[in-house]
A and B are shown apart, each in its own frame.
Chain A
Amino acid sequence: MRRNLTLKSTARITFVLLVSLAAGTAVHAQGRPGPSGPPPTAKAAAPIDLTGYWESLVTTEDWVYRMVTPRPGDYAGVPLRPVGIQVMDAWDPAKDTAAGLQCKSYGAPAIMRVPEHLHITWQDDQTLKMETDAGEQTRLFHFVPSMAAAHGPRTWQGYSVAQWEFQRQGGGFRSAGKAVWGSLKVTTSNLKEGYLRKNGVPYSEKTQVMEYYDPVQESNGDGLMVVTSYVTDPVYLFSPFVTDNNFLKLSSAAGWEPSACSAMW
């Protein structure tokens, strides 16, 4: 009982810290409200436009762990603890499918690594929505977090708190110049346990994911987005699992082919 209370208190403190951080950044970044009126919404203050369709570019990076189902027991690059190796060795995709758990490799710690298309839109002025065709997942990035929602039932995509990182004319995060560029930072928790890779390399429900979404304008006019994913899991990992994922901006929905989660492919 006391343990539960402690856990609840810890969760509450974590949430308050996350909200404070997000609010602080919002005030710091957007927050030169005029003498009248509140600061602009996340949508209005956005220094970059991530909306639209994006496609994974699986160049060299971990091709054999992403484009095909990795071999059983292959966890190259993942700082897996012995207890994680035991879980991985027990991987049984047929059992997962029978139990309705075929989305275990599509959770937030893994979804950006899946070869896929993304569709990013504004759900409302303070919430960015990301949908994937692979596994038909939906992620919601909340610029104004809700305590109740953050502690609801655990899900594959968990609860994500978002904040803009502004880069200003004249340089420096503290510069008073106009925002000319920026990044999106997303912190996700409240996850169901799942797999970092299709072959059962596990993450626990205590996992947290920190992500940076960085747009890159290519010299030939192509729009790129680099998503850096920083996964920490005190149960199965002994150090952060960090990956970079590249996406190419598309001008239309061409190639968008929703497919259900698969435990095997």
Chain B
Amino acid sequence: MRGMTCAIALILASAALPVRAQGVVAQEPVDLSGSWVPYATDNPLEVDEGPFTDDWTGMPLSAAGRALAQSYSASIYAEPERVCQLYGQWKYMTAPFPVRIWPVVGQATDQIVAWRLQTTEDQGGMTIWMDGRQPPSKYLDYSRGAFTTGHWKGDTLIADTSHLKMAPARNNGGFYSDQATLTSTFILHGDKLVMVFVLHDPVYFTQPYVYSRFFNRSTARPASTAWPPCIVNYEGVAEGAVPFYLPGKNPLLDQMMKVFHVPEYASEGGAQTMYPAYRDRLKAQYLKLYPTFPKKCKQYCTNFLFQRPAANLAQPVARAPAKSGQRKAKSGH
């Protein structure tokens, strides 16, 4: 009788195992895996050409964040110490590359324990742990991959990231600090994905910095995420040197005025530049200037995908036609 009871108990227990496993799998209500391609129509100045040297419009920079941005020299990435430094997780929002997402399956349970995101080899990647693990101590020096946990709300994946490293929120010196935290939301609409990132940084921002982006699921085979290792070469900056501009000495803080007629008090950013009311401050000066703008846009008028001749670049230097003898000599090779 006791043997029979044990047998029944064992059968019930084994029957319960798949049920529990299905329960865990059911926590992954949609499949995010695939290669997600961003649309090139949103924010071309940031995504395609890269931001202007003094464009911090719409960034809630603190005084410290602004001072850091205005002292920034892009040559820091030629420092031997930084040549192989990876971009942070914010890069998913501003890179023109597809984002690859794939599940990490636990070997013991055959269940999804994490979602992994990656773009290119110079980006830190993101692993969103779904297995309920707790964040490590805030004093732990974590890798460039930071630490992220996720949970589902309906079919929406919400992820919280801590242990970030200081990294660019914009590739012109607009940094977030290693005290920042990130909340990411992934919303699936069939074969389309909306990603929303909200960055909180008590050091370089005064308010949350919000960015959203729309992706299309690609049917092409996802790109590989295995790359050769980065090799440090001499790129013009000696070891130990840190290129920077002293306050008031940065010669590149007038680009937004020169190209877009946006005054410096606006291009230097700040939370106020994110809100509609800020337009009132710009209106009088801007509309006074507008009649003086060229009637035909000459520079940065489109992006590289949709350009018309000579619209995206400065007018090319006219070349003298080659002499016939030279042309003949060339064609003879």
- Which residues of A come within 8 Å of B, CB atoms? 55-64, 67-69, 71-80, 82, 85, 89, 115-117, 134, 165-173, 175, 179-183, 185, 212, 214, 216-220, 222, 224, 226, 228, 230, 239-244, 246, 255, 264-265
B305 interface hit (Cβ, 8 Å): yes
CA distance A59 to B211 in the complex (A): 7
Partner of B42, one of A77, A167, A219: A77
Q: Are A224 and B210 in contact (CB-based, < 8 A)?
A: yes
Partner of A77, one of B41, B51, B59, B192: B41
10 closest A-B pairs by beta carbon, nearest first, are A171-B29, A167-B154, A73-B297, A181-B154, A115-B276, A77-B44, A242-B39, A244-B212, A63-B57, A167-B155
Q: Are A219 and B160 in contact (CB-based, < 8 A)?
A: yes
Query: Within 8 Å CB of A212, what residues of B?
Result: 187, 189, 192, 194
- Provide 7 A-B residue pairs closer than 8 Å at the C-beta atoms, listed in order of the A residue: A80-B302, A167-B29, A167-B154, A217-B153, A218-B208, A242-B41, A255-B276
Partner of B41, one of A172, A243, A265: A243
How many pairs, one residue from A and one from B, have CB atoms within 8 Å of each other in the complex? 211
Given contact pairs A170-B29, A171-B28, A242 touches B274 in the complex (Cβ within 8 A)? no
Distance in angstroms from A201 CB to nearest chain B CB is 10
Distance in angstroms from B20 CB to nearest chain A CB is 15
B75 interface hit (Cβ, 8 Å): no
B132 interface hit (Cβ, 8 Å): no
Q: Are A246 and B210 in contact (CB-based, < 8 A)?
A: yes
Known: A71-B297, A180-B154. 4 other contacts (CB 8 A): A73-B311, A115-B276, A167-B153, A219-B198
CA distance A242 to B274 in the complex (A): 21
Q: Are A69 and B290 in contact (CB-based, < 8 A)?
A: yes
Partner of A60, one of B26, B57, B276: B57
Query: Within 8 Å CB of A57, what residues of B?
Result: 210, 274-275
CA distance A246 to B295 in the complex (A): 32
Distance in angstroms from B145 CB to nearest chain A CB is 20
Given contact pairs A59-B59, A242-B214, A216 touches B185 in the complex (Cβ within 8 A)? yes
Q: Are A68 and B262 in contact (CB-based, < 8 A)?
A: yes
B165 interface hit (Cβ, 8 Å): no
CA distance A77 to B304 in the complex (A): 9
Query: Within 8 Å CB of A165, what residues of B?
Result: 189
Q: Are B46 and A224 in contact (CB-based, < 8 A)?
A: no
CA distance A183 to B278 in the complex (A): 30
Distance in angstroms from B300 CB to nearest chain A CB is 6
Given contact pairs A171-B30, A183-B189, A244-B194, A60 touches B41 in the complex (Cβ within 8 A)? no
Partner of B276, one of A55, A242, A264: A55
Q: Are A214 and B41 in contact (CB-based, < 8 A)?
A: no
Distance in angstroms from B57 CB to nearest chain A CB is 4
Query: Within 8 Å CB of B210, what residues of A?
Result: 57, 59, 224, 246
Distance in angstroms from A212 CB to nearest chain B CB is 6
Q: Closest A residue to B94 by CB, please name it.
A: A60
Q: Are A182 and B305 in contact (CB-based, < 8 A)?
A: no
Q: Are B261 and A79 in contact (CB-based, < 8 A)?
A: no
Q: Are A72 and B41 in contact (CB-based, < 8 A)?
A: no
Q: Are A69 and B286 in contact (CB-based, < 8 A)?
A: yes
Distance in angstroms from B27 CB to nearest chain A CB is 7
Q: Are B275 and A56 in contact (CB-based, < 8 A)?
A: yes
Partner of A55, one of B211, B256, B275: B275
Given contact pairs A115-B279, A243-B41, A171 touches B27 in the complex (Cβ within 8 A)? yes
CA distance A56 to B301 in the complex (A): 25
Distance in angstroms from B92 CB to nearest chain A CB is 13
Query: Within 8 Å CB of B306, what residues of A?
Result: 75, 77-80
Q: Are A78 and B41 in contact (CB-based, < 8 A)?
A: yes
Distance in angstroms from B66 CB to nearest chain A CB is 15
- The proximity string for B residues 293-333 relative to A, scoring 1 for CB distances below 8 Å and 0 otherwise, is 11111001111011010010000000000000000000000
Q: Are A134 and B29 in contact (CB-based, < 8 A)?
A: no
Distance in angstroms from B218 CB to nearest chain A CB is 15
Q: Closest B residue to A246 by CB, please name it.
A: B210
Partner of A61, one of B43, B187, B290: B43
Query: Within 8 Å CB of A117, what residues of B?
Result: 276
